[in-house]
Amino acid sequence: MPIRQTTAESAVKAYLDEQLARRRAALLYNLSYVGEQLRNEAVVNGSYKDHTRHLRGSVGYVIAIDGNLYKAGNFGATNSPTEAKTEGREFAESLVSKFPKGIVLIVVAGKTYAAYVAAKGYNVIDSAETLARTLVPQMLHDLGLK
């Protein structure tokens, strides 16, 4: 025989579900904001000469929940080539399945030569990573999640 919930138990469960949904929505909203800040940091402050605008165009972010794409943010600057933005997004989306549990923000420079440029000592997304180390803990603290 199944256990029946009392009205009070149902009300408590509904309240907790609502609070959890609100916190999750706030987290996702704020992760989107952080993703935009990180993309902007990398696009604006990359220290390399981007002759074709492809490397900066491939910089962007995605948010995943339990290994599934939740949101793809903007990639590159407004004047970046479409194919660079597409390549960056596809690369970021290919990483989503590597995070089967939890909510994650993935920031990438999606061109295959991004690591080569970074290895030469140029800032490709390094400053964005440094900024993330400040923004993410502050966001989690502000949301009461850490």
Q: Give the C-alpha separation, 17 to 101, whole Å.
A: 19
Does residue 3 fall inside a structural domain?
no
The whole model's pTM is what? Answer: 0.89
Does residue 2 fall inside a structural domain?
no
Does residue 1 fall inside a structural domain?
no
Query: How many distinct structural domains can be found in the chain?
Result: 1
Give pLDDT tens digits for 110-124: 999 999 999 999 999
| Secondary structure class of 46 (helix, strand, coil) | coil
Segment 69-78 shows an average pLDDT of: 95
What is the pLDDT of the chain when averaged over all its residues? 94
Does residue 94 fall inside a structural domain?
yes
104 to each of 28, 48, 52, 61, 122, how far by Cα in Å? 9, 28, 30, 10, 26
Residues 6 or more apart whose Cβ sits within 8 Å of residue 82: none
Six-digit token pair at 125? 């997304």
How many CB atoms lie under 10 A from the CB of residue 112?
Answer: 9
Segment 80-107 shows an average pLDDT of: 97
Give pLDDT tens digits for 97-107: 999 999 999 99
